[in-house]
Chain A
Amino acid sequence: MAERMGFFTDTSICIGCKACEVACKEWNQLPDDGFVFEATSYDNTGTLGASTWRHVAFIEQSRPVAAGGDDGVDRWLMSSDVCKHCTHAACLDVCPTGALFRTEFDTVVVQSDVCNGCGYCVPACPYGVIDRREDDGRAWKCTMCYDRQLGGLEPACAKACPTDSIQFGPLDELRARAEERVTRLRADGNTEARLYGESPDDGVGGAGAFFLLLDEPEVYGLPPDPVVTTRDLPAMWRWAGAAALSAVGAVALAFLGTGERR
């Protein structure tokens, strides 16, 4: 396997231009999400989904401003969300057809020609990323531009990002760079600055796409402590196995008992 590749999304320099959303859709030929004014700051695509593989969240934060005593927004957080390409990817674990697979870049990709639309992967994702398309029923999500990577190109979103808020590269390098960046931000007074998804010790074994956030993950709509939903599967299988065995035993006993009565 080649080096593990990843995304580092530094939200502290995201300008909310949505070039990542557009570049992603252009490259991957995704359908639009419809034309609905959501009245949610500048976000009209809502969330990651089958046809939105990069999504920019806009969070307006206010504190009372002296003049007139009105609230004025004094911080506007923007963050481009994407599939986390988990080390322990539940979507991949639960896929019965093998449509989801781990690539040579250690990313997680759905093969649309293999997916049978069973949808098991959808509730399996702890981030709510993977999603089925209503018209064909199949599951879709970010491929980290697997095709571009095979051609030696960086993913479309990272290529289009004007401020390098989205960085693509070997995950180890990105983690080191992110560490430096968050240290500097904290030193400059951004005490809330933190990395999200960079740790191999977290509930998904570390994300291949991790983030630098300026506030709590919940503020951005990210789960604070994501856990791979298949983590307990082995234990569950053990319990299920034991339960099955007991059931078999009980049935056998029942038959035995019946026999005795006869």
Chain B
Amino acid sequence: MAECHPVGFQWVVEAKARGARVFHVDPRFTRTSALADRYLPIRAGSDIVLLGALINHVLANELDFREYVLAYTNAATLVSEDFRDTEDLDGLFSGWDPETGTYDPRSWAYEPVGEQPSAEQAEGGRRDAEAAGADTYGAGGPAAHPSPRTDPTLTHPRCVYQILKRHFARYTPELVEQLCGIPRDGFAELAEAVTANSGRERTTAWVYSVGWTQHTVGAQYIRTASILQLLLGNMGRPGGGILALRGHASIQGSTDIPTLFNILPGYLDMPNAHRHGGLDHYLELEGGTTGFWGNRRAYLVSLLKAWWGEAATEANDFCFGHLPRITGDHGHYTTVMGQIDGTVKGYFVVGENPAVGSSGGRAQRLGLANLDWLVVRDLTLVETATFWLDGPELETGETRTEDIGTEVFFLPAASHVEKEGTFTNTQRLLQWREKALDPVGDRRSELWFYYHLGKLIRQRLTDDEIDRPVRELTWDYPEHGVHREPSAAAVLREINGVGPDGRALSTSTQLRADGSTTCGCWIYCGVYADEVNQAARRRPGREQSAVAPEWGWAWPANKRILYNRASADPEGRPWSERKAYVWWDAERGEWTGHDVPDCEIGKPPGYVPPEGAFAQASLAGTDPFIMQSDGKGWLYVPTGLVDGPLPTHYEPHESPVGNPLYSQQANPARHTYHRPESPYNAPGGRFPYVLTTYRLTEHHTAGAMSRPLAYLAELQPELFCEVSPRLAEELGLVNGGWATIVTSRAVVEARVLVTGRVRPLRVGGRVVHQVGLPYHWGWGGGGLVTGDVANDLMPLVLDPNVYIQESKAMTCDVLPGRRPRGPAVLDLLERYRDG
């Protein structure tokens, strides 16, 4: 966190000053470790073992926050008789279909009561696997039965609590030592600290970043942490939670109002051409009717009204048919394969640099070279715009400039000081920033680009039906300044939405399904409440409470801690005075506290929903997780994940270590691409080391924003690899000298930094060496410093739930000295591929 989020790390330093204990778990001793109270080295790719062992420690010693667990989680819920655990099936859950490589999740369901969803309605499974469906549950779970059978004594063998207990029983401190390389005393210290600092009086927070997500089991890493935090009662409470640190400014914003193929604004599923008919059919199949997602129709209709305005009427399904539809996987890596195969002809690359910044750079560049046209918008002439002139494949002789037919359009982009708008940070906080100066020369903001591109396209439309969706779009923002910049505030107001009176709405509960309200993103409804840009608020912290509700605006409804109903006990009283946050005021008959209560303000804790209740009315007064169909925190996920209802340890796709738990080595549901452009490392001795990649404080991602700046480039001028003194000695690597890192994808040279901050770990009875590689360099991009592309080494293998690549743990070989030049690179690769 100190490495990649130094500004946010000030709050960790402040927490430490107030007595918090800080643990840091990382393959390398980093700048974060330097300030932690305790550093635990870990083998990259083994985190579920560590977290699972903490869960086992909690369950075996009954250290869970029982009152919280019983009231707020699905611990007591009974699971179907058909469910079989990985412990029963040697690393597979029930429902595995080896032919398709996917799970049928029906056996994972809760024990059936009442009416069951149709096969078509049942969520998860192959359909999700085909189009990152699990990703669409980002702001809440899929539908599960709202009132399943339970056993409040937690003794029934098929209740979630007992299933968890059995599932994690083999995750012991010994296994942690054996697989993670964390000594037992270190684990004991962590387990003691985490459990001692959880409960009524205290809370523990987990902070993670892409070190947890960029794995073939990435979503399940986060699930493991969720289980632990729910068992310890650390969700929805001050000082608790699981904090995801994002990799760039406003990445949170780019999922809320997505740049993703599979969701619409506010985490509504993108319609599927093969699955959905009209609006009613879509709503019948997507999500249940209970919990706040029961209001899905109002959210979607208001979105359609925001986009198509007057044209959207009840009679025409509010233009639902105008929405584009997906047909399957249109994710980043599959799109690249389509480019190589010639099915994808054109490509917009905006603020990204896949030729250097994405995994498997060679495949990326081969894809770019096979396009008809390519649009690149960036601050500098990044490698993605120049690959045809100076890319590595030209050096090896694989491609020639004269053979590349891609027409490249480079459009310079305005920087963040040259445009206005909001950033949404990881805490869902929207902060408005003003423009400091007009963009220089031809640079323009994204908003300008898309708005004026849209205007140009609309000028060319015909009366043909096929043009109707674009013709009928509302596309009329006020313009200002010499460049006719559209008003970002007007866009924000459209996102907020307006009511029948044309005034800005205050909150999403005002949204209606009858077309009388508009809203561009239901979770952002309220950011323009009272016709005021709430995201622009800047009241200093010293002038308000510690929750600081008047600094910016947080979605939803300016709530600073999600699911904060859980900060009070079932009766609505704070768990402790020390941790009081929101509570039920019986006298006034409403919820109150330091934050906006994340529940219906007038719903008493004793409220019991009537049979067949709809949306939020179906939630009991004790249900804090209001986006879930049953209002509960899910220790066990009966539906919605494609690789199992529980996290289980699998080795990374490429690992020098065998999985001692099961004969199933890696996540069976992971997405692989068996392509000659990006082959996988053969298991065995040819690639004996664990390779992990990361960022440095001094640079930003692939370097386009930092390598051209002298003051940053001089701080970390060259690509280097970090190796332990022992590995350096074994391989004859010299500090300050050169090393060549090899996978079956690429050969990369780097300067050598020999450091005791990288430790050899004893794993499974032998020493495992890890090699660390920051990935900020490329051959161009306007950089004052350049270097080989670390991402070229990465395999293309994905987490099946969200399609993120496994770039944090793979295998490699290391050779002393510089790499070969020209076609000799290919010869070396050939030798490694064919052994």
Say which one of A62-70, A83-91, A94-102, A238-246 lies at the interface with B: A62-70
Residues in B with CB closer than 8 Å to A25 are 711
Given A13-B35, A67-B181, A67-B761, answer yes or no on A162-B10 (Cβ-Cβ < 8 Å): yes
Asked whether B711 lies within 8 Å of A76 as measured between CB atoms, the reply is: no
**Judging by beta carbons under 8 Å apart, are A44 and B715 in contact?**
yes
Q: A35-B784, A72-B29 are in contact. Are A67 and B183 (CB under 8 A)?
A: yes
Q: Does A74 contact B (CB under 8 A)?
A: yes
When the two chains form their complex, are residues B35 and A35 in contact, meaning their CB atoms are under 8 A apart?
Answer: no
Report A-chain residues with C-beta under 8 Å of the C-beta of B751. Answer: 37, 39
Q: With A60-B757, A73-B29, A76-B31 in contact, is A26–B711 under 8 Å at CB?
A: yes
Contact A62 B756 (CB under 8 A): yes
B6 to A39, Cβ gap below 8 A? no
| A164 CB within 8 Å of chain B | yes
Alpha-carbon distance A236/B735, docked complex (angstroms): 47
**B131 touches A (CB below 8 Å):** no
Minimum C-beta distance from A104 to chain B (A): 30
Residues in B whose Cβ lies below 8 Å from that of A31 = 710
**Does A45 lie within 8 Å of B767, measured CB to CB?**
no
How far apart sit A68 and B183, CA to CA, in the bound complex (Å)? 11
Decide if B762 is an interface residue (CB 8 Å cutoff). yes
Q: Is the CB of A16 within 8 A of B31?
A: yes
| Interface presence of B828 (CB below 8 A) | no
Q: Known contacts A18-B698, A67-B183, A78-B34; is A72 also within 8 Å of B716 by CB?
A: no
Tell me which residues across on chain A come within 8 A of B720, comparing CB atoms.
37, 39
A15 to B710, CA, bound (A): 21
CA distance A42 to B10 in the complex (A): 20
The answer to whether A72 and B759 touch (CB under 8 A), given A15-B6, A16-B31, A19-B6, is: yes
A44-B714 contact in complex given A75-B34, A76-B34, C-beta closer than 8 Å: yes
In the complex, A78→B402 CA distance in Å? 51
Does chain A have a CB within 8 A of B717?
yes
**Is A41 a contact partner of B755 (Cβ separation < 8 A)?**
yes
Q: Does B349 contact A (CB under 8 A)?
A: no
Given contacts A32-B713, A39-B752, is CB(A71)–CB(B725) below 8 Å? yes
Residues of B with C-beta under 8 A to A19: 6
Please judge, given known A-B contacts A39-B751, A162-B10, whether A73 and B717 are in contact too, CB under 8 Å. no
Q: How far is the CA of A46 from the CA of B811 in the complex (A)?
A: 34
Asked whether A17 lies within 8 Å of B697 as measured between CB atoms, the reply is yes
Quick check: B10 and A163 within 8 Å, CB to CB?
yes
Chain A residue contacts of B785, Cβ below 8 A: 35
Chain A residues contacting B696 (CB-CB under 8 Å) are 42
Residues of A within 8 A of B29 (CB): 72-74, 76
**Whole-angstrom distance between the alpha carbons of A34 and B715 in the complex?**
9
CA distance A131 to B736 in the complex (A): 27
Q: Which residue of B is nearest A165, CB measured?
A: B13
Contacts of B715 in A (CB 8 A): 18, 21-22, 44-45
At the interface, yes or no: B712 with Cβ under 8 Å from chain A?
yes
A81–chain B nearest beta-carbon distance, Å: 15
Q: Verify B711–A36 contact, CB threshold 8 A.
A: no
A33 within 8 A of B: yes
Least CB distance from A34 to B in Å reads 7
B residues 737-755 near A (Cβ < 8 Å) are 751-755
Q: Assuming the A-B contacts A15-B34, A35-B713, A35-B714, are A65 and B2 also in contact, with contact meaning beta carbons closer than 8 angstroms in the complex?
A: no
Residue B262 is within 8 A (CB to CB) of chain A in the complex? no
Q: If A68-B762, A71-B725 touch, does A162 touch B9 (CB 8 Å cutoff)?
A: yes
CB-based contact B714/A17 at 8 Å: no
The binding surface of chain A is classed by DSSP as loop
* B106 located at the interface, meaning its Cβ lies under 8 Å from any Cβ of chain A in the complex: no
Contact A162 B698 (CB under 8 A): no
CA gap between A74 and B34 in the complex, in Å: 8
Interface centre among B724, B759, B762 (most CB of A within 10 A): B759
Contact A37 B183 (CB under 8 A): no
* Separation of A65 and B39 alpha carbons in the complex (Å): 12
Interface: B113 (CB within 8 A): no
Contact A72 B7 (CB under 8 A): no
The interface residues of chain B lying within 8 Å CB-to-CB of A35 are 713-714, 717-718, 784-785
Inter-chain CA distance A42–B772, complex, in Å, is: 14
Nearest CB on A from B49, distance (A): 16
Choose one: B716, B724, B760; the contact of A44 (CB below 8 Å). Answer: B716
Nearest-CB residue, chain B, relative to A61? B756
Residue pair B7, A162 in contact (C-beta under 8 Å): yes
A39 contacts across to B, CB distance below 8 A: 720, 735-736, 751-754
In the complex, A76→B29 CA distance in Å?
8
Q: B33 an interface residue at 8 Å Cβ cutoff? A: yes
Alpha-carbon separation in the docked complex, A164 to B13 (Å):
9
Residue of B nearest to A26 (CB): B711
> A76-B757, A163-B9 are contacts. A17–B31 as well, Cβ < 8 Å?
yes
CA distance in complex: A191, B767 (Å):
35
- B726 interface residue (CB < 8 Å to A): yes
B41 at interface, CB cutoff 8 A:
yes
From B41, B698, B710, A32 is in contact (CB under 8 Å) with: B710
Q: How far is the CA of A37 from the CA of B29 in the complex (A)?
A: 20
> How distant is the Cα of A44 from the Cα of B736 in the complex, in angstroms?
12
Q: Which residues of A contact B754 (CB under 8 A)?
A: 39
A41 to B767, CA, bound (A): 24
A17 and B2 in contact, given A26-B711, A44-B715 (Cβ under 8 angstroms): yes
Distance (whole angstroms) from the CB of B632 to the closest CB of chain A: 39
Specify which chain A residues have a CB less than 8 angstroms from the CB of B761 in the assembled complex: 67-68
Scan B683-723; emit 1 where CB is below 8 A from any A CB, else 0. Answer: 00000000000001110000000000011111111101000
Provide the bound-state CA to CA distance between A15 and B39, in Å: 15
* Alpha-carbon gap, A19 to B3, bound state (A): 12
- Kindly list chain A residues whose C-beta atoms are within 8 Å of the C-beta of B712: 22
Chain A residue numbers with a CB within 8 Å of B762 are 67-68
Within 8 A of A (CB), among B782-824: 784-785
Kindly provide the distance from the CB of A262 to the nearest chain B CB, expressed in whole angstroms. 73
List residues of chain A with CB within 8 A of the CB of B726. 68, 70
CA distance A22 to B715 in the complex (A): 9
Measured CB to CB, the nearest residue on chain B to A24 is B711
Greatest chain A CB density within 10 A among B34, B752, B767 is at B34
**Chain B residues with a Cβ under 8 A of chain A:** 2, 6-7, 9-10, 13, 29, 31-35, 39, 41, 181, 183, 696-698, 710-718, 720, 724-726, 735-736, 751-757, 759-762, 767, 784-785
* Interface CB pairs A-B, < 8 A, 29: A15-B9, A15-B32, A16-B31, A17-B2, A17-B697, A19-B6, A21-B715, A22-B712, A25-B711, A32-B714, A35-B714, A36-B717, A37-B717, A37-B718, A39-B735, A44-B716, A44-B717, A60-B755, A60-B757, A62-B756, A65-B759, A66-B183, A67-B760, A70-B724, A70-B760, A71-B725, A74-B29, A76-B31, A76-B757
- A35-B718, A71-B725 are known contacts; what are 16 more A-B pairs with Cβ within 8 Å? A13-B35, A34-B714, A38-B736, A41-B753, A65-B759, A67-B762, A68-B726, A68-B761, A70-B726, A71-B756, A72-B759, A73-B29, A76-B29, A162-B7, A163-B9, A164-B13
Interface pairs A-B: 4 shortest CB-CB: A39-B736, A35-B717, A73-B756, A32-B710
